[in-house]
Amino acid sequence: MKVAVLDLGLGNLMSMKRGLERAGADVSLVNSDEGPEMGSCGTCCISGCADADAVVMPGVGSFKDGMKAISKFTATLNEIKEGKAALLGVCLGMQMLFSRSQEGGECEGLGLIKGKVVRLPMTVKVPHMGWNSISLISGNHRLTRGIKDGEYFYFVHSYYCVPEDRNTVSAEVEYGVKMPAIVEKGNVFGTQFHPEKSGPAGLAVLKNFLEEAKR
Amino acid sequence: MLTKRIIPCLDVDRGRVVKGIRFQNLRDAGDPVEQALAYERQGADEIVFLDITASSDRRDTVLDMVKRTAYELSIPFTVGGGIRGYSDVRKVLLAGADKVSLNTSAVLNPNVISEGAGIFGSQCIVIAIDAKRAGADRWEVYIYGGRKSTGIDAVEWAKQAEMMGAGEILLTSMDYDGSKDGYDISLTRRIAESVNIPVIASGGAGNAEHMRRALADGKADAVLAASIFHYGEYTVGQVKEYLLRAGIPVRI
């Protein structure tokens, strides 16, 4: 299973790479669909995701910077839109799957899942930081296979996703408001939490993603 | 429900743990990565490394430790101590740390907060405040490892740090640090109620009840402790069981 982790220039790539390796993947860090450039992590990057079975979009940083960085991956995004590879967006990476975000003024997202990204309510401390329990939504969801209701995952974010279609949500988390913790639609998946930072439970989610990417 | 975090702190000097835990099955008890992994297995929610290396070979030993830790650990970790400016912030984060904690350098040049937060996000920037009581409802900020007073009010500094983009406050009471008499509840509560970002209470933990008070009465979002874990008085798991029985939400 070959997995490409997109280097958007700001993310903590090594943890994500390691997490996926623990889940059994052969991982490359990729910083552009064009010529090879020096990655933010040093010399570890290759160019292009052409032979990858799955793509992971990690994410810390701002929505705008993330969208700007993803624009270097047109070919990869086309492969995903055509269903040739599975995509997992993590944290900001999940938010970028949606149509638009309020972060830093209105900003357009990838639109792979319909909906918007809005600021957490004023009633809670922001960022939502730490281990929170998720509630599974009943249905035939794939990333939550084998995950128990109430399992804890590590969250760090200030904005959250509001999908138009509730059927795309496979687990929710509550922090001032109920919001999606895991979304999935076809070959596109997202986790608001960091599976690579969530111990054994996070590893199980990454394994589920790799299983789905094989199909 | 969002749980309260229990964060063991490891002091590291030239890449080696000082006052480390005496676990039996460690191949190398002075190795910060092995110690961090042992805490992860105990149920720690995060790890903080405090680098106390004074010499100039500091940077290389820290970056090497960060890389090895990022490779092994599957919970978040923070690196603090001797982070001098944005260039250090960048190096430590790109080497794989989830957060950096800034103390003296942020007081001397607060712009490092907005610079780091603007590029890597607020969640990466922890502001460590060493505070000492200076009046009935006043605490003063100290820098250079508590050696130099600044005259700055701790509450005001916490608010300014939040405004400049800090994602979290790591608050150490200099009056209580090392006392084992418990955290400074009034200081912790004062800061926690003054900012809208998470506050980690530090300094003074002697037992699990002290942690409960810092979380329940001090309104802290997390507690940090070093010696009670290092000397095996409690495991992280034992602390969490105590807290859970006392009605504090923790991840078990």
With cut-offs at 50, 70 and 90, classify the pLDDT of residue A41.
Answer: very low
Torsion of CA A194, A200, A205, A209, to 10 degrees: 100
Q: For residue A141, give the nearest of A179, A180, A90, A174 by alpha carbon.
A: A180
Q: For residue B164, give the nearest of B212, B206, B211, B126 by alpha carbon.
A: B126
- Residue pLDDT, tens place only, A161-199: 999 999 999 999 999 999 999 999 999 999 999 999 999
- ipTM entry: 0.93
Provide the b/e sequence for A43-73 (b: ≥16 CB within 10 Å): ebbeebbeebbbbbbbbbbbbebbbebbebb
pLDDT of residue A126: 93
Q: For residue A94, give the nearest of A186, A17, A188 by alpha carbon.
A: A188
pLDDT of residue B121: 86
pLDDT of residue A13: 83
Q: Which residues of A are catalytic?
A: 91, 194, 196
Contacting residues of A for B114, CB less than 8 Å apart: none
Contact present, A125 and A110 (Cβ < 8 Å):
no
Task: Mark yes or no for CB contact B2/A62 under 8 Å.
Answer: no
What percentage of chain B carries pLDDT values higher than 70? 93
Q: Whole-angstrom Cα distance, residue B138 to residue B152?
A: 10
A131 touches chain B (CB under 8 A): yes
Which residues are paired to B8 by β-bridges? B225
Selected for mutation to probe chain A from B66, B75, B101 (highest A CB count within 10 Å) is B75
Ramachandran class of B14: left when φ > 0, alpha when ψ lies in -120 to 50, beta otherwise: left
A170 touches chain B (CB under 8 A): no
Residue ranges of the alpha helices (H) in B85-230? 86-94, 104-108, 111-120, 154-164, 185-192, 208-216, 227-230
CA distance B24 to chain A (A): 22
Of A12, A61, A157, the CB nearest to B98: A12
Task: Mark yes or no for CB contact A14/B197 under 8 Å.
Answer: no
Quick check: helix, strand or coil at residue A112?
Answer: coil
Task: Read off the pTM.
Answer: 0.93
Which of A31-45, B16-30, B132-146 has the highest mean predicted lDDT (pLDDT)?
Answer: B132-146
Contacting residues of A for B96, CB less than 8 Å apart: 12, 14-15
Segment B5-28 mean pLDDT: 77
Task: Mark yes or no for CB contact A129/B123 under 8 Å.
Answer: yes
The amino acid at residue A36 is P
A199 touches chain B (CB under 8 A): yes
Contact present, B178 and B228 (Cβ < 8 Å):
no
Contacting residues of B for A200, CB less than 8 Å apart: 74
